[in-house]
Amino acid sequence: MNASFIEAASPHVMNTYGRLPIALSHGQGCRVWDVNGKSYLDALGGIAVNTLGHNHPKLVPALQDQIGKIIHSCNYYHVPNQEVLAKKLVELSGMSNVFFCSTGLEANEAALKLARKFGHDKGIERPEIVVYEKAFHGRSIATLSATGNPKVQAGFGPLVEGFIRVPINSIESLQAATEGNTNVVAVFLEAIQGEGGINPMHMDYLKAVRQLCDERDWLLMIDEVQCGMGRTGKWFAHQWAGIVPDVMPLAKGLGSGVPVGAVVAGPKAAAIFQPGNHGTTFGGNPLAMRAGVETIRIMEEEGLLENAAQVGKHLAAALALALSAELTSGAIKEIRGMGLMIGVELAKPCSALVQQCADNGLLISVTADTVIRLVPPLIMSATEADEVVSILCPLIKQLLTDAS
Ligand SMILES: *Cc1c(COP(=O)(O)O)cnc(C)c1O
């Protein structure tokens, strides 16, 4: 493969992404190389997926061992590591049972089905689910209907009905929108909205929603697909609020690059699905389960929650220092997030930074047009975080001084 291949793009692949003219060849830790030998520091981690970075010395041999034994069997049989990973996720979350699938939207789709059947089981014929402005839950018809972004929905109507949309962090809005509505069965939220621009739910708000769900017998369903699996310095971002959800979809970082999705359910939702209600061919397969088990084991061995918290704090502080003048002037609105999930919101669109950073050897993304998103591997060191700042901040300053 060479540069001309990249310029010619991929004429047989559907045109679903505005791709950069880069093809990555291999990686080591937080660094990746493209097919032309150029190296990049990876502050995107395959969109919050590559928990252990690239070519991890413990993960790779474990996966090689697994591939040599059995990759896929199917859910007609027991997969022993399903029980190992489920037990681990139950311990880490304080919840009770797990359904395995392969992607985030699939985990969310299962959550939505759980909520609807929770309603039907108690005689609610037309269950309704509270969802949020700026939410992102995936690209299936149901999950794009739950998503709070008109761009994601455009062209795919009619949308799935049964959603009530509210703004984040307003318990009054949630109460007003559901006042007297006996069809409500669940509240579905991201603890920190990812695609919507790194928008954290306030701890007090999460506690108040938990309380309201208890009072009204609604399921609290927290989409931790992006903010979960240690990224914020706790296993799950909602744990900072000291609450436990009833349903928790996971994916992205769970398999450190191997597609693994899961829905973790607490006692209120753990027994809703019975044989025949839900299923998947790939979900829970031996390769995926080995990846999940080993990812968590290595995270624990290497103290990656602590690392995410510490290096995240270091990175956010270094960004704030380097960009203090821009924060004061308002050219940068806010630096927010937790652990290694950081958003830098500019007062103007900044998508051009993605290519500019890549040209300078740094992989990032921009979401919601104006928010630089940093979701690197959880193994990132403070030195590497400093390198992110030293490449990114001059480019931000330059973009801000360019006439817009
Ligand atoms: C990425 C994401 C999804 C969708 O996951 P896929 O694996 O792309 O289907 C759902 N919810 C959140 C919060 C996400 O960040």
Low-confidence stretches of the chain (pLDDT beneath 50): 1
300 marked ligand binding residue: no
**The CATH fold of domain 70-301:** Aspartate Aminotransferase; domain 2 (3.40.640)
What's this model's pTM, rounded to 2 decimal places?
Answer: 0.97
Q: Rounded distance, CA 314 to CA 260, Å?
A: 30
Taking the domains of the chain in order of start, what are their residue ranges?
Answer: 3-55+303-403, 70-301
Q: Taking the mean position of all CA atoms in its chain, how far away is CA 98?
A: 18
Which residues are the active-site residues? 136, 223, 252
pLDDT at 6: 56
**Index of the ligand 1 atom closest to the CA of residue 102:** 7
CB 309 within 8 Å of CB 236: no
| 103 CA to centre of ligand 1 in angstroms | 7
Atom 11 of ligand 1, residue of closest alpha carbon:
137
| 252 CA to centre of ligand 1 in angstroms | 7
pLDDT at 18: 87
Nearest to 356 by CA among 20, 14, 8: 20
CB 400 within 8 Å of CB 253: no
| 45 CA to centre of ligand 1 in angstroms | 14
* Residue among 231, 248, 252 whose CB has most ligand 1 atoms within 8 A, to mutate: 252
pLDDT at 1: 47
φ/ψ of residue 355, rounded to 5: -70, -40
Per-residue HEC secondary structure of 146-200 comes to HCCCHHHHCCCCCCCCCEEEECCCCHHHHHHHHCCCCCEEEEEEECEECCCCCEE
**pLDDT one-digit tens code per residue, 341-373:** 999 999 999 999 999 999 999 999 999 999 999
136 marked ligand binding residue: yes
How long is the chain? Answer: 404
Question: What dotted CATH number matches 3-55+303-403?
Answer: 3.90.1150.10
281 marked ligand binding residue: yes
Paired with 42 in beta bridges are 363
pLDDT at 10: 83
